[in-house]
Structure 1
């Protein structure tokens, strides 16, 4: 007899957040891929109208399932995880149905966070078990996020290295531009503006807020020396025209250290000038200097210009993350 676990909906206190992190760690150890991405983990302590936390417990109170529904965008997005020892027993279906009801509940409000939206569910790593669960639930793939990798060495930049710049040893900025590092606090608003322009059609990145930026600045991996802005030469206080933000998680072994090209954006008015290629080289050079042995990044599967840039830089596909939805 299959028995659905008790379901709890509402904000997560500190103990509940820790239990969800432990659940995610158990699933990652079993599956080889993290079931929750960065933003849902940052959202665990968030109590707002646009987010719903759903936790599945055993009758003894252990946390064995979790789904987070984010309704802040045009569609609702969910990430779901069930403990490996409690799968194939109806827990995932209960969490999915709960998420769908939360997302599609009719709403008369036009404000962010409203219900009445289509639900899209992430499957990280696109494992066969996730594909089977999606098929059985009547879901189909609607979006792919590719995970690309390449060794950081030997680095072969496509631009000459600058002898003397604000960032020594990095590729030289073209005429009319200057490369400098990000100044927390002073550059926050300007960066948010160019990020919104560069990712105007992106369902997550383009919606980043000051709170989102500050949350990342509080993370142990944040390093402004790995966050580069390309600004008009002679106008240092003007909005940047492009940026390259790198990320290296602490605590990695020296001989297997991943460095991420975390976000790379170019203002639409300055696209077509090779700035994306330049900033890719900047990121790779910085990650190599910082001791990363492998460079990694995420890119939309249908972003042909970005894929072409990264393929020229030597990146290859290592994994895929898929978003599923009902037809």
Structure 2
């Protein structure tokens, strides 16, 4: 018979970070979908007053659950994972209640703006067990993040670079373009709860990942001054070590508000598909909010179809 988990709230040392990654891998192998998104995994070593780490340990001190609460946005956003062998034993409920308390009154920060935030909780893959867990605790879907996909073939690899009158296409230069890209990204995603908050440090975290390749990171700049600040970008991501068919991700596409209405989103998407096909990917995937009608129309026109969905839950009124 399992006992209640022991919770710790300290910043994660390197062995504990590795244990959380192993926990996430075990859950992914069981469920067929990663339980934590990229950003929480990149922030396992982050110690900040707007971020809470909670580790749940079992009788043998093994990590059986993990929770991360990000209070840096308008809402508090949480992601949690429980080891497959410890599910339906109350670990998830303990972690969720901890997230609810942390959103209302942060455990380690009394900074202005850190209190009383609504809580939203991600569930990747929209699995039946997660839906039942959320419904039983008074949560309903507040946001959908769609996973779209389309096959890649020789025609994609052979496509021409779209004509961009007055504009030029070049690849990202690490070190030289970092701050300009962060400024552009913040403007392009000013209303996005996660993407628009990325910092230079967040960019550097991704540059250190094994998948980062500047040759798959494209910027659109004025053709009369290719050193000028970018007006749009497309970033691709290809995870190494894939067996069999290879997926490539259209990781992010952004256009400055000053350059919208010129077809840059469609043109950049075509550039990304060509690049992914040329580096040997068989399928392109991307993530887009379910209520982003303009982006959905662009991607539908490029042949993308819905493949999966991640959902974010919020408590119902009065719950």
**Would you call these one fold, judging by a TM-score over 0.5?**
yes
Which residue does 1:216 correspond to in 2?
206
Which residue does 1:29 correspond to in 2?
29
Matches of 1:155 and 1:322 in 2, distance apart? 34
Matched residue of 1:240: which SS?
Answer: coil
Matches of 2:272 and 2:192 in 1, distance apart? 21
Q: 2:3·2:58 contact (CA, 8 Å) conserved in 1? A: no
Q: 1:3·1:90 contact (CA, 8 Å) conserved in 2? A: no
Which residue does 1:296 correspond to in 2?
285
How far apart are residue 174 of structure 1 and its match?
Answer: 1.2
Matched, 1:267 2:236: no
Matched, 1:238 2:240: no
| Equivalence map 1:85-104=2 (5 Å) | 85-104=85-104
Matched residue of 2:39: which SS?
Answer: helix
Q: 1:103·1:117 contact (CA, 8 Å) conserved in 2? A: yes
Matches of 1:221 and 1:100 in 2, distance apart? 34
Q: What's the CA shift string for 1:176-210, capped at 9, x where partnerless? A: 00000000010011111111110000000000001
Against the structure 1 CA distance between its residues 290 and 116, is the aligned structure 2 distance closer, same or farther, given a 3 Å change threshold?
same
Matched residue of 2:155: which SS?
Answer: coil
Which residue does 1:132 correspond to in 2?
132
Which residue does 1:278 correspond to in 2?
267
Which residue does 1:39 correspond to in 2?
39
Matches of 1:306 and 1:9 in 2, distance apart? 39
Matched residue of 1:44: which SS?
Answer: coil
| Equivalence map 1:182-197=2 (5 Å) | 182-197=172-187
| Equivalence map 1:155-170=2 (5 Å) | 155=155, 161=160
Which residue does 1:178 correspond to in 2?
168
Taking structure 2 as the reference length, what is the TM-score of the superposition? 0.95
Matches of 2:112 and 2:185 in 1, distance apart? 24
Q: 2:237 aligns with which of 237, 247, 261?
A: 247
Q: Unmatched 5+ residue regions in structure 1?
A: 162-170
How far apart are residue 152 of structure 1 and its match?
Answer: 1.2
Matches of 1:209 and 1:77 in 2, distance apart? 18
Q: 1:123·1:324 contact (CA, 8 Å) conserved in 2? A: yes
Which residue does 1:110 correspond to in 2?
112
Q: Unmatched 5+ residue regions in structure 2?
A: none
Q: 1:57·1:65 contact (CA, 8 Å) conserved in 2? A: yes
Which residue does 1:168 correspond to in 2?
none
Matches of 2:306 and 2:285 in 1, distance apart? 10
Q: 1:2·1:89 contact (CA, 8 Å) conserved in 2? A: yes
Taking structure 1 as the reference length, what is the TM-score of the superposition? 0.93
Matches of 1:215 and 1:203 in 2, distance apart? 19
Matches of 2:159 and 2:139 in 1, distance apart? 48
Matches of 2:159 and 2:280 in 1, distance apart? 21
